Structure formats: structure tokens, C-alpha cells
A and B are shown apart, each in its own frame.
Chain A
Amino acid sequence: MATRRQFIRISAMGAGAVAAGAAGIRLFGSALTDGQKATVAALTGRTPTYCEVCFWKCAGWVYKDEKGTIQKIIGNSEDLNCNGRLCPRGTGGVGMYHDEDRLRTPLIRTEERGKQSFREATWEEAFDYIAEKIKVISAEYGPECLALFTHGSGGKYFSTLLHALGSPHVAAPSYAQCRGPREVAFQATFGETIESPERTDIRDTRCLVLIGSHIGENMHNGQVQEMSDAIDKGATIITVDPRYSTAAGKSKYWLPIKPATDLALLLAWINVIITEELYDKPYVEKYTYGFEYLKEHVRNMTPEWAYGITTIDPTVIRETAREMANAAPAVIVHPGRHVTWYGDDTQRIRAVAILNALLGSWGRRGGFFRPEVFELPEPPHPAYPTPTRSWRTEFPDLYKMADAVLANGLCDATIPDPSRHCQFQGWIVNGTNLIETLPNQANTIAAIQALQLLVVIDTMPMEITGWADVVLPECTYLERYDDLRVGPHRKPQIALRAPAAEPMYNTKPAFWMARELAKRLGVIEYFPFETMEEQLDWQLKQVGSSLEEMKKIGVKTFDRPYDDLYFAPDEDVEFYTGTGKIELYSLALEEAGYDPLPKYTRHEEPPEGYYRLNYGRAPMHTFSRTSNNPNLTDLMEENSVWVNPRVAKEWGLSTGQYVHLMNQDGKRSEFPIKVRVTERIRWDSVYMVHGFGHDQKKLRRCYGKGASDTNLITKVLVDPIMGGTGMRGNFVTFITDLNAEEVAS
């Protein structure tokens, strides 16, 4: 969706970029092919890159030792995402390159799916196999029955391929399994999304409110850095979490909330802010719509009401609301990132958005700034064919507010069902381990078994590769070019990723793979440049730089076209909502048949002897993808299940002991997990770090280490508004009688 910002820019600077784009269409196979082919061997000293270990994409420099081996990666000090400081995963990115368990060569399946028997193949064989299958699927079912699941840079090229073939079905689990509800809620309220990196102005905030967001454990670099700056400047931190998170440890107020009741707390805060008239009156009056409805809606949602639900002392609810108001507008009620919890997530984040609106923090210093994305001309190509069918038609009356393709939606629509029109037949999965990413593994596997083609592109033999028909080994980000990173941030910025080394083994960049497939599928015109270098150089020259320059500086910062990081005093702001105002009362939601104001609904509670399964992140790992990285495994090789001492006493558990977990549906964790008895967790829940318990033996370092939370998430609370998969409604109990050899193995 175009934001207000993008609109202005197009009209203001228009000519240049648009003209360049038009001219570019005639550039197919142009003279740019020669001359710019700098070889990797010619690279000396440091090489610029931006990180691919997580989505934050910090820019850095890759250094090699005398022998030419990649030794270390250091942050680029010009980079706004990292300010010269990479996080542990970025620093440990070298381990991704050196990991000896990497995929080495293309593989083609030889027996039935899931049996993991493959033969090594040449790239030609692999591409021919895939192209043949895609042709058959396109002819028999239509190209719309091809889907791409992606996370990471390489997805861009496969996305181009799919669109060129005529399929719009490109899904990122980062939407419906992660931040989707947040984007929908903020879009509905402010007409703009939060984006990534988040537009939170934590650096200058005076009060940061975290609701289940564990900054510091989620190592979203810039945010962690800014939170630290805020601590230095004496900002108040308020953390709402049933777990004593690291952030809770840095907080003036920690609200140890009863799990699944956050919305009640948010509504009570709104109640206090309205009844005590703590809200930003001119801001609310000038910019918002529906205040009176809201006031009426929350009238009875007093702190006393919330106390009964959340177990948070009403005085604390009032005190914290006042803290926020005192700091306003330099206050951030953080929208969080992984917010697919209980199925009413869009509504919960709506309450967050409303609270921010009342405090006047949107568009204000220390609140939410206006991010700037650098506008880079895309390589010219003919228009994509118009798809005739969409995944949406498979879910009538559902997920009406979803503004991206749902990974779980595609998955559900792949499972054979007579009611479906468009049954997906072919999946391309790039850099996302769907087995560990999508909840309800049985469902994912059922979908996979119904496919005619599953292509997996990855650097590591993740679980998903075991189910593939063809596995394409990608080289790591340290061995390839990729598209420029363009933002968003406080200033427009571009960052280059250049290869620091030749691809190891028989691995290749995704750009090359997608292009080779495009050749075979007759859509090569969508890939006008033969190499990434040519494309980058062309793009950079359009904006007054060059590949040569970017190789020297890595990151280039531009000035904002307008001095509008924050709203100017009394600025007339038009918001991209139906009313042009911040919609406290959402007309869009109302129109679609959803509650226009968030309502608290009671969620299921754990039965006797069961504990709510909470999961989260460790700062040294990204999802399940880093668990085999030698440098990062060194920091944390397995997860543990956090158990409150009271619960431990009841069950006779002690720290270091291995147990199995079993959920409400009788699903048992595949591997035993180590107990950590700790006061850091409430007695009604347990906690574990996501991303462990790999059952892929080819991941030799992490196979069988710890337990997988995804394994235990069989109950999914789907958000009817946008299809987010709520995963915090699962309850587990302990199985303590392990036989000795199980632990030893």
C-alpha cells in the first residue's frame, strides 16, 4: 500500500525515477552486460554486506584473514539499523558460512515424500525437473496454483518468477504468523503500518510500554540499542508480561499479568486516560475520529474491572497510565512484533493503537516517527499477467482485512477439499522452515503430501528440505549479491550486499536460480539483467551512485526530501483512513463486519495440571534457522523449559532434569527438554525459546537438542479479521518418567 509519504515523493520528484523506469524497458540484454563484471577474486580488504541472519538486515563489513578465509563481520557505522554494532547473530553470521552441514549440491527426491532419500543432481537436472512440473501444473490447474513461501532476500527473485508466470500467491510467514495483526490494526487506526524496522522513536522516548514484547531477548538490533539509550536517559519502562523478561528487569513497573488478559489491561488504561482526562486533548480533537464512541465504550472498563481479569492491582494500573500521560507525547505503547497470540490479536493491537492515539504519540518525537524509504527504480520488465484466481475466494467471509497473502491460508487451501476451486499444486519455499514456522505441523505435512511439486531453497538442510522434491542449495549471504536494502528509517538509506567469497560447494545465489528457471519457463524478459551486478549497477546509476562506489562505502545515506520526521506543530495531517483521521472507532472494521472498538473476550485457561505454553526468543538465535550455526550453538545449544519453583515442587522437578512435555491434545514433544526452575515465570505457564528440537539428522549440531514449541502448538486460534494464527492457546503438562537412554541419546 502506498503511504502518504510515498505519494508526496512521486508527485514531487517524479520525473527522474519514472523516466528512468520507462527508458529502462528497452534495456534488455543491453550493453551493460560487460565492463561491470568485477570478479570476487578481485575483492580485497573488507567487503560490504547486510546481514541475512534476521530480518533487521544490519549493514556490515566482512573481513577475511591472510588466507582469504572469512573471519569476522563488523557493523557499518553509517548504518541506521545497527550504528556499527551487529547483534550476536550478525557477528556470528560467519558460522552460517562455515557450517559444514550446509546444503552442498542440488538434490532430487528418489522415494516417497518425507523418507528423506535424495540423489545428488546437477543444476540442469534440477531445473529441468522443476520447469517440467511447473509447466504441467500451469497447464492443468493454472499458474495461480503455484505458491511461494518466503523469508529473506532471495524470495524477491522467486516472487518475480511467480508473478511472471501469473501467480499472485507469494506469502511470508512473517505476516500471519507474526506481525500481521499489528499492521492491520495500525492501518485501520492510523492508515499506515508500523513496518520493519519499526518506526518507534525509542531513542528519544520518556516512557516505553512493552506488552509481551521482550526487547533484549528479541535482538532487534536498533530497538535494543535505542532502549539502552533510553535507559541511559532515564526513561520509564513499563513491561507487561507473565514472565520476568529481561526488559521487565530493566523496568520501573513490571506488571506480571495473568496470561491472555492483556486486552482488559489496555482497555482499563484507556479508561483511566479518558476518565482522568489525561489524553492529549488538542491532538485527539484535531486528528481523531470516534472519541465519544470510545469514551462510552470503555466507561465501565475501570482498573477495578480489569483487576478481576488481569490480577494487576488497580493502583498500579492507574499509576502506570499516569506515567504514560506524564511522558506524553514522548511515549510509546509498543505494538510488538510477534503478536499472533490468542486470535483476537488485531483487536488487542487496535487497543494499543488507540492508546497511542490518545497519548498523541503518533508522529511525535519520542513516539512514532515517519519513516522514509529510499525509492529505487526497479529493473524494467513487461507487466505481469493478471491472475484470474486468488486464495481469497477460498475463504469467503474470512480474513477480510488481510492485506497480504496468508501462509497458513495457502497451506489450508492446498489440502484436498471438494469445496476448493483453486487447490495449490506446487510450492516454492525459500528460506523458511515451514515445518517449524507454521503451527499445527500435521496440517502442514498433510498439505505437503498433496502437492505435485515442492521446491525448497535454503542454505541448510532444514526440516522442510526433507519433504521436498527438489532441494536447491543457496549460497549464504556472504557469498552473493542481492537487491539493495532500502529502508525504512529516519533517513532514506541504501545498503549493498556484495560477496566476500566465492560460493562454497555447488551452491548458487537465488537470483541465478530464479533466472535459470525463468529461461526454461519462457519468462526471461522479467529478468532483464544477466547478473545481479549489472542490475545493481544500473539501479545505482539511476540514483547517482554506482556499484563501484557502494562497494567502497557499503551504505549510502540520503537526506529526507522534507523535514517531516515528526508532525509539525498544528500540521494538518491527512491520515490514510476512510475518514482521513485517526480512527479510534474503525469504520473499515465496522464495514467488514468486525467490532469497530476492541472488546475483551475471555480466553480458555489451562486445565488442572496443565500450564500455558509461552514461547519466545533468545538473543543469540533467529527462529529455528540458526540452531546449527557453530558460533551461535556455542552460546546456546538447546532450549529449556522454564518452570516456577512452586510448580517444580509440585511435580518434583529440578533444574537440569529432562522431561517430555505433552499438550492438551496428547501431542508429546518429540525430544526431552531440560527443566530450568526459575522465579522468572508465573505458576500458570511455562516458557521455552522457540527454534529448537530439530528432528532433521543432517543438522548434526542441533539434532534432538531441546524441544520444539511448534511441535506442541496443535491448537491454532485464527484471527477472523486477518487470518493470523494465534499460538498461545496451548497447554502442556510434564512427563517425567524418561528412560535413561533417551536422555543420553
Chain B
Amino acid sequence: MRYAMAVDTRKCVGCSDCVVACQTENNVPIGFCRDWVVEVIDGTYPQLEIELRSERCNHCDNAPCVRCCPTGASHIVEGGVVLVKPNKCIGCGACIASCPYDARFPHPKGYVDKCTFCIHRVREGMKPACVAVCPTKCMYFGDLEDPNSDVSVVLKKRKYKTLIPEAGTKPQLYFLI
């Protein structure tokens, strides 16, 4: 099993619903977020291109945050999902510094927090909150090893990219372009 997410940058309108949905689903404190939206503008008026990306933890196959964690609080569960055990985390910040995507942050309670791919929902057969709420349906989630999963199907059809693949992290968040 290898969970992954694909985000269609052509459909995303940058509304940030994914961010609020995550916040209310996961009780992320106000002022913090586990996902965020990036806008990229290229060109000169009026020859312009826009790219909108809903970003979050890439649940990397080669996750530097898990490697550098001194206590094993950062760990990998089924489907390659990277999680943090709050009661094992000492809040040293090494994993935060190790993430080229800046996907982690210190929770006000001290431990490190991040996107969980809503594993609590996924285990119940639901989609992550951000995917389920997206008004443009621009996000696809599923198991890459299942050729019929939403994410596998869309990745077969469309051109895609990952972020900073050259960092060697083998990210599992795909952006359809």
C-alpha cells in the first residue's frame, strides 16, 4: 500500500477550503495550519500563467524527518503515511529543520504537528478532509498500488510533477499540470 495525493493545479482556485476543513477536522489551533495554498504567477501582463497548489506534508518515501528524529516520535505507518507521536516527541525541532517543504510546525502544546493524510478518516474508508471538502474536486487521494484508485487513475491520464524532487525525498504529493 502506498497512499498518495494528486492536486489538479488547473482546477484549484486557491479558495483555501482545504485549510479550514483540515483545521476543523483535526482541531488544528487557530494560527496554525497543516496545509496551505501556493500561487505562482509567471509572465508579463497580459501574457500570464497561474499555478495554484494546495500543499501539505508530502509523506515522502525517503522522509528526512523520520530519519532525523532522535526518539522515533516521527514514524511511518501503513501506506507510507508519516505521523508524529506527541508523547514521544521532545520538540527538538530537528524534523522541522529537516523538511524542505516546511510542512511541520511546533504545536502550541510543544510537540510537532503535521498533516496525517487524515489517517483516522482513511482507516474508516473516508477521504482526507481536504479532499472531501474541495469545491473544485481538484484533489485525488488513494493507494498508488491499487491501479483503480482515484489517484492512480488520474496520474495515468495526466502530466504531473512533484515538488523539489531533487531533494531526494521521493515526495508523494503529485501536482497535475
State yes or no: do A and B touch (Cβ within 8 Å): yes
Interface residues of A (CB under 8 A from B): 71-75, 82, 84-88, 91-92, 94, 216-217, 219, 221, 224-225, 227-229, 231-232, 244, 246-250, 254, 256, 619-620, 630-632, 634-636, 644, 678-683
A228 with B24: in contact, given A216-B15, A217-B13, A249-B49 (CB under 8 Å)? no
Judge if B167 is at the interface, Cβ distance under 8 Å.
no
Q: Is the CB of A91 within 8 A of B24?
A: yes
Given A249-B50, A634-B31, A682-B45: A620 in contact with B133 (beta carbons within 8 A):
no
User: Closest Cβ of chain A: how far from B137's Cβ, in Å?
Assistant: 6
Interface residue B92 (Cβ < 8 Å from any Cβ of A): no
Tell me which of A216, A221, A231 has the highest count of chain B C-beta atoms within 10 A of its own C-beta. Answer: A216
Check if B41 sits within 8 Å of A228, measured CB to CB: no
Which of B14, B20, B31, B138 is A92 in contact with, Cβ under 8 Å? B20
Cβ-defined partner of A631 (8 Å) among B13, B14, B24, B132: B24
Q: Name 30 interchain pairs, CB-CB below 8 A, sorted by A.
A: A73-B24, A74-B132, A74-B133, A85-B17, A86-B17, A88-B19, A91-B20, A91-B24, A217-B13, A225-B136, A225-B137, A229-B137, A244-B48, A250-B11, A256-B46, A619-B13, A619-B17, A620-B16, A620-B20, A631-B20, A634-B19, A634-B23, A634-B33, A635-B16, A635-B19, A679-B41, A679-B44, A681-B45, A682-B45, A683-B45
B20/A224 in contact, CB under 8 A: no
* Given A620-B16, A682-B45: A71 in contact with B24 (beta carbons within 8 A): yes
Binding site for A on B (CB under 8 A): 10-11, 13-17, 19-21, 23-25, 27, 30-31, 33, 41, 43-46, 48-50, 52, 132-138
Residue with the greatest number of chain A CB neighbours at <10 A, chosen from B31, B45, B136, B138: B45
> Complex formed: what's the CA distance from A225 to B43 in Å?
28
Beyond A216-B15, A620-B15, is A88–B44 a contact (Cβ under 8 Å)? no
> Top 10 closest A-B pairs, CB basis?
A216-B13, A249-B50, A619-B15, A228-B136, A72-B24, A256-B46, A88-B17, A91-B20, A92-B20, A679-B45
Interface contact B49-A86, CB-CB below 8 Å: no
Q: Does A85 contact B134, Cβ atoms closer than 8 Å? A: yes
Q: Which residues of B contact A219 (CB under 8 A)?
A: 15, 135
A476 to chain B, nearest CB (A): 15
Give the shortest distance, in Å, between A642 (CB) and chain B (any CB). 11
Q: Return the contact of B45 from the options A82, A217, A232, A256 (Cβ within 8 A).
A: A256
The complex places the Cα of A231 from the Cα of B16 at a distance, in Å, of 19
Q: Name A632's closest neighbour in chain B (CB-CB).
A: B20
Closest residue of B by beta carbon distance from A245: B50
Least Cβ–Cβ distance between A62 and chain B, in angstroms: 11
| Docked CA distance A248–B133 (Å) | 24
Partner of A231 from the list B10, B33, B52 (CB cut-off 8 Å) is B10
The CA of A2 and the CA of B27, in the complex, are separated in Å by 47
Name the distance in Å between B160's Cβ and chain A's nearest Cβ. 16
Q: Is the CB of A228 within 8 A of B45?
A: no
Q: Report the Cα distance A636→B33, complex, angstroms.
A: 13
Q: Which residue of B lies closest to A619 (CB)?
A: B15
Q: A359 CA to B44 CA in the complex, in Å?
A: 34
When C-beta atoms are compared, the residue in chain A nearest to B13 turns out to be A216
For the complex, give the distance between the alpha carbons of A683 and B44 in Å: 12
B154 to chain A, nearest CB (A): 11
Measured between beta carbons, the chain A residues less than 8 angstroms from B49 are: 249
For A620, what are the chain B residues with a Cβ–Cβ distance below 8 Å? Answer: 15-16, 20
